[in-house]
Amino acid sequence: MIDTSKWKEYRMSGPEREYLDAYLANLKKNTDPDLGDDVFFARFCIAQILKPRDLDVNQLADGYTDGRLDGGADAIYFFVAGKLVTEDMTPSEVVEYEGLTMSLHLIQATRSPHFPTDQLRKLEDFSKDLLDSRNDIDEKAQLYNADVRAAIRRFHIWWQDLKMKLPSLSIHFHIASKGDGVHPDVATRAEGLKRTVKGLYHCDCDVHFYNAKMLLEMAKQSRREPVEMKFIKQLASDHWGNAFVCLVTIKDYITLITTKTGDLRDYVLEPNVRAYLGSKGVNSEIRNTLLAGSKTDEFWWLNNGVTITSSQIKPGISSLVLKDARVVNGLQTSREIYHYFQQKPKAAMSDERHVLVKVIEADKKSARNITKTTNNQTKIDPIYLRTTTDDIHDAIEAALPTFGFYYERVKNQYYDDDNVPRSQIVTLDYLTRALVAIIMQKPEQARGSPGQFVQRHYKPLLSKLAGIEVRE
């Protein structure tokens, strides 16, 4: 969020504004040439605002609500424990956790050279009409489109089911424009919007403004910045390559896997296995060990630890700087440490126990082998693990460009390429649904939870897929 008292620092010069316009025009030409200018600008802003969340092209698209009767919200996203909530998820998946963080994000973008007060008024009306859980959402069908109502209905369902677990709720309004500063009248309206929302929920509420210069700076930032991991003790080995075994305090490990705002740093978690939360039994054992706060039993004595791959490791006296860091094993441990931080932040950030962390410098081929081997010890949904390791996925990735498509077997590997059309990106989730519906002839399964279906039928699906002849 920009401190509006310092807007002079964010004013664009004439050449900077011309550069932004040229950059957007070129990006639209290469990635979404068929979109109107207003829609493209809105989706560009949404992607920049949510870049730290590491959502793929389909996850971003699922949140779009813009169009007629959008109530001023171009997109709506709801996160629980740092994870995007989708229509095929249920609150029962996280009901065992106390003190979850829940965050609702509403994004509005305009190409206007200023921030219109009318947009704040719309969002305030939106909040009174839809965020108020006492109202029947469908009675507002004449005012708000189906996508808007579905997104807010999902939020209400999760809130009602989990509120007795005392979650920490935050509601964020993100407003972007090609302007420079926020007029005092707009700032006053923003405060009124916050008061309205806080009158409906015991929550934190913020209105974030993004002007033209900030949007340009956000576009230049990499989705995956190098991360620093501090350690207490380390054993280095260069016999087979650059590798380290480290003892890392729970506090420093939390710093590694979270952003400055306390959100889960999703891009550090291996994108093809991070969706798997593991068995509830294993998770609860890790959680109980963390919450117990033992003064006699070290955490790393009772836990197998974490394996991280990195394309480049720069060692320091008491830390390692990791480029393209990926937690490829220890996803359950990482998520439970994050939940521990959410539930008891003071205790977690003062916890003197340690996590055992292996860090290995590896190229793509070696990283895939490490992922496959270390996760063979854990039951993971095959479609997530095997997309990293099975040769058939190499063949799919190699074949699809012939037909003008790009298979993202690694999340956002093509979305971040400004020369790849967004409509030609095929994500793992999209491919899974297509294979289940077309190859397995089970469209009803494709609409629900295709990952679970593939877990049961991976071998027959793979054999049918391997027998398909690829023709131009």
Tokens (6 digits) for 157: 């369902």
Please report which confidence band the pLDDT of residue 97 belongs to, taking 50, 70 and 90 as the band edges: confident
Least confident of 125-139, 145-159, 295-309: 295-309
* Degrees, nearest 5: CA angle 35-39-45: 120
pLDDT value at residue 433: 84
Using the predicted structure, report yes or no on whether residue 40 has a pLDDT greater than 80.
Answer: yes
Least confident of 68-77, 248-257, 294-303: 294-303
State the amino acid at position 43 in one-letter form.
Answer: R
* Cα 356 to Cα 96, 185, 221, 245, 273, distances in angstroms: 26, 53, 31, 7, 20
Using the predicted structure, report yes or no on whether residue 351 has a pLDDT greater than 60.
Answer: yes
Least confident of 71-85, 201-215, 289-303: 289-303
Least confident of 35-44, 83-92, 274-283, 311-320: 274-283
Using the predicted structure, report yes or no on whether residue 389 has a pLDDT greater than 70.
Answer: no
Using the predicted structure, report yes or no on whether residue 393 has a pLDDT greater than 80.
Answer: no
Using the predicted structure, report yes or no on whether residue 385 has a pLDDT greater than 90.
Answer: no
Using the predicted structure, report yes or no on whether residue 290 has a pLDDT greater than 70.
Answer: yes
Average pLDDT, the chain: 86
Least confident of 122-131, 312-321, 344-353, 446-455: 446-455
Tokens (6 digits) for 14: 């004439």
Which residue would you say has higher pLDDT here, 345 or 465?
Answer: 345
Backbone angles phi, psi at 50, to 5 degrees: -95, 10
- What DSSP state is assigned to residue 98? S
Least confident of 161-165, 281-285, 301-305, 416-420: 281-285
Report the chain's C-alpha Rg in angstroms: 23
Let me know: does 328 contact 340? Beta carbons within 8 Å. no
Please report which confidence band the pLDDT of residue 277 belongs to, taking 50, 70 and 90 as the band edges: very low
Average pLDDT over residues 74-85: 93
222-240 pLDDT per residue, tens? 877 899 999 998 889 877 7
Above pLDDT 90, what percent of the chain?
Answer: 50
pTM of the complete model beyond 0.85: no
Using the predicted structure, report yes or no on whether residue 378 has a pLDDT greater than 80.
Answer: no
Using the predicted structure, report yes or no on whether residue 4 has a pLDDT greater than 80.
Answer: no
Average pLDDT over residues 406-434: 86
Which residue would you say has higher pLDDT here, 472 or 443?
Answer: 443
Please report which confidence band the pLDDT of residue 384 belongs to, taking 50, 70 and 90 as the band edges: low
Report the C-alpha gap between 406 and 409 in whole angstroms.
Answer: 9
358-375 pLDDT per residue, tens? 999 999 888 888 887 777
390: left (phi over 0), alpha (psi -120 to 50) or beta: beta
Average pLDDT over residues 385-410: 78
Which residue would you say has higher pLDDT here, 265 or 353?
Answer: 353
Closest by CA to 274, choosing from 254, 260, 291, 257, is 257
- Count of all residues that appear for the chain in the document: 472
